[in-house]
Amino acid sequence: MQLHKPDVVDAATAILDNYGIADLTMRRLARELNVSPGALYWHFANKQELLGAVADRILQPVRTEPTAPAWPGQIHQICVALRDALLSHTDGAELVSSSFAAGQSELATEIVAQLAGAAQRAGVIPPDDELAARTVLYYVLGFTADEQSRLQWDAAGALTDDQSVLNRDTSRQFAFGLQLLVDGLAVRGASTLGAARDMPQRSRD
Amino acid sequence: MQLHKPDVVDAATAILDNYGIADLTMRRLARELNVSPGALYWHFANKQELLGAVADRILQPVRTEPTAPAWPGQIHQICVALRDALLSHTDGAELVSSSFAAGQSELATEIVAQLAGAAQRAGVIPPDDELAARTVLYYVLGFTADEQSRLQWDAAGALTDDQSVLNRDTSRQFAFGLQLLVDGLAVRGASTLGAARDMPQRSRD
DNA sequence: ACCTGAACACCGTTCAAGT
DNA sequence: ACCTGAACACCGTTCAAGT
């Protein structure tokens, strides 16, 4: 029977979940699908494009309009959903991170747009809104990649107790860094929102 | 003549600067040094360890006690020095980022400690200071990796004018995101520094 | 102690040729 | 249109054997 893109992405995701990103190779994937390696290149231009498709599969659950009424809640919502999505796949953060950097994940770009919207509602005006959005994304990707790699060291069994990610409340830690950014956003937003009152620098000019 | 670790790191850095991280392979490096690939494994346990040594070489210029009097200036100083160091080597941000994630860069850990110190001076108490420090580092690495990969696309000549990193003031953009974090740090620090005054939420309980 | 030679078990990608 | 077979030009790592 014929090979279709979604089948390929399914198989790739299965390898990722079960063996990790190091084992997600074109040849291994072809073997799993009972095709020759060359067959994959009919459907995907190269490995990066395929990884981008896997990244978009991972980010699918994040694809939802935020329901929170105010912008801080919206940012929390998006970021928590994002971290959850990344944590549900082995090396998820690493894969999405590099796909985003390579500009191969459409959904990552969409998430940036949504975060930028929240930043605007916080009072950050273009083009700073996108900058703020990217800053938030860098944080979530960096934090989660770190968390996930520690989890792997942990599973491998070579980590002292105070390094163990299990003994620390990572969700609380994640929220702390996120709050840092939300607070910063509030300050930055307030400085450009009419309210020149109690803002000493450049009140009117 | 004998092969010494610093020679190896020198040669590796040269390959990185001239050809990029994709060409920094053990075999290529051995060829450049006129030794067999196996020789490298007498000096380094594996490729990750060697890359960690290159990362530390890149971070060397950042290794300096901050001279700014107040913590916001110190953070700016460290982060600007860090970004400059990363930008002076092809794929510098990507290399340091992955070495840090793999726990192979001692200097990266040192930089986190220095940022944590600044966070403490901002009023963020342990263990949140390290969390704050890591958040700042995630930002610098994420931003700079992004900036650097856009620079590469640009050099390759396939980017529209408004995507071009040259037409945007990236240093100003970098400062914006950094300010976001510094502002957040100020808020967080103030909330734990005695001053419960004019802080509506959980002022006393 | 330090290095070579050779092997092992892989990679990503291309492309003529088949159906 | 879609895929195979086979090749090209590589990888990281190990390890007996040499000096």
Give the domain CATH number at B87: 1.10.357.10
Shared domain for B31 and B69, answered yes or no, is no
Residue B21 one-letter amino acid: I
pLDDT at A203 over 60: no
Cβ neighbours of A131 in B, within 8 Å: 173, 176-177
Q: What is the pLDDT of residues A96-111, one digit of tens each?
A: 999 999 999 999 999 9
Quick one: pLDDT at residue B155?
A: 74
Quick one: pLDDT at residue B195?
A: 45
Backbone φ and ψ for B105, nearest 5 degrees, come out as -110, 110
Rounded to whole angstroms, the Cα distance separating A62 from A64 reads 6
Quick one: pLDDT at residue B190?
A: 85
Q: Which residue is nearest to nucleotide C7 (CA to C1')?
A: B38
Q: How confident is the model at residue B116 (pLDDT cuts 50, 70, 90)?
A: very high
Quick one: pLDDT at residue B152?
A: 81
* Pair B91, B148: CB distance under 8 Å: yes
Does A51 map to a domain?
no
Shared domain for A70 and A146, answered yes or no, is yes
Shared domain for B19 and B102, answered yes or no, is no
Shared domain for A102 and A151, answered yes or no, is yes
Shared domain for A40 and A125, answered yes or no, is no
Mind telling me how many Å the CA of A1 is from chain B's nearest CA? 37
Which positions in strand D are less than 7 Å from the protein's CB atoms?
2-7, 10-16
* Pair A141, A147: CB distance under 8 Å: no
B126 touches chain A (CB under 8 A): no
Cβ neighbours of A138 in B, within 8 Å: 138-139, 141-143, 146, 177
pLDDT at A43 over 50: yes
pLDDT at B160 over 80: no
Shared domain for A71 and A15, answered yes or no, is no
In CATH, what number is assigned to the domain containing residue B39? 1.10.10.60
pLDDT at A35 over 50: yes
Average pLDDT over residues B146-154: 88
If we measure between CA atoms, which residue out of A27, A26, A14 comes closest to residue A57?
A: A14
pLDDT at B29 over 80: yes
Mind telling me how many Å the CA of A3 is from chain B's nearest CA? 31
Does A205 map to a domain?
no
Shared domain for B19 and B78, answered yes or no, is no
Rounded to whole angstroms, the Cα distance separating A165 from A154 reads 7
Mean pLDDT value across chain B: 91
CB spacing of A141 vs B138 below 8 angstroms: yes
Does A143 map to a domain?
yes
Chains A and B form CB pairs within 8 A to the count of 99
Owning domain of residue B20 = 5-44
The pTM (predicted TM-score) of the whole model is 0.92
Shared domain for A11 and A82, answered yes or no, is no
Quick one: pLDDT at residue B154?
A: 75
pLDDT at B87 over 60: yes
Mind telling me how many Å the CA of B2 is from chain A's nearest CA? 34
Residue A4: Cβ-neighbour burial (10 angstroms; 0-12, 13-18, 19+): exposed
Q: What nucleotide is nearest B49 when CA is compared to C1'?
A: D12
Apex CA B108: angle with CA B106 and CA B111, to 5°? 115
Quick one: pLDDT at residue A192?
A: 72
Q: What is the pLDDT of residues B13-27, one digit of tens each?
A: 999 999 999 999 999
Shared domain for B10 and B75, answered yes or no, is no
What is the number of structural domains in chain A?
2
Shared domain for A109 and A150, answered yes or no, is yes
Q: What is the pLDDT of residues A17-34, one digit of tens each?
A: 999 999 999 999 999 999
- Indicate left, alpha or beta for B123 from its phi (over 0: left) and psi (-120 to 50: alpha): left
Q: What is the pLDDT of residues A59-83, one digit of tens each?
A: 999 999 889 999 999 999 999 999 9
Does A172 map to a domain?
yes
Rounded to whole angstroms, the Cα distance separating B26 from B103 reads 20
Average pLDDT over residues B152-161: 70
Does B149 map to a domain?
yes
Cβ neighbours of A183 in B, within 8 Å: 183-184, 187-188
Quick one: pLDDT at residue A27?
A: 98
Q: Which of B101, B139, B173 sits opposite A145 (nearest CB)?
A: B101
Does A10 map to a domain?
yes
Backbone φ and ψ for A202, nearest 5 degrees, come out as 30, 65
Does A112 map to a domain?
yes
* Pair A167, A110: CB distance under 8 Å: no
Shared domain for A92 and A187, answered yes or no, is yes
DSSP A124: P
B115 touches chain A (CB under 8 A): no
Q: Which residue is nearest to nucleotide C1 (CA to C1')?
A: B42
Mean pLDDT value across chain A: 91
Joined tokens for residue B138:
């995630």
Shared domain for A102 and A67, answered yes or no, is yes
Quick one: pLDDT at residue B147?
A: 97
Cβ neighbours of A143 in B, within 8 Å: 134-135, 138
Share of chain A above pLDDT 70, in %: 88
Q: What is the pLDDT of residues A150-176, one digit of tens each?
A: 988 777 766 666 666 665 799 999 999
DSSP A169: -
Rounded to whole angstroms, the Cα distance separating A49 from A115 reads 24
Q: How confident is the model at residue A196 (pLDDT cuts 50, 70, 90)?
A: very low
Backbone φ and ψ for B80, nearest 5 degrees, come out as -65, -40
Does A52 map to a domain?
no
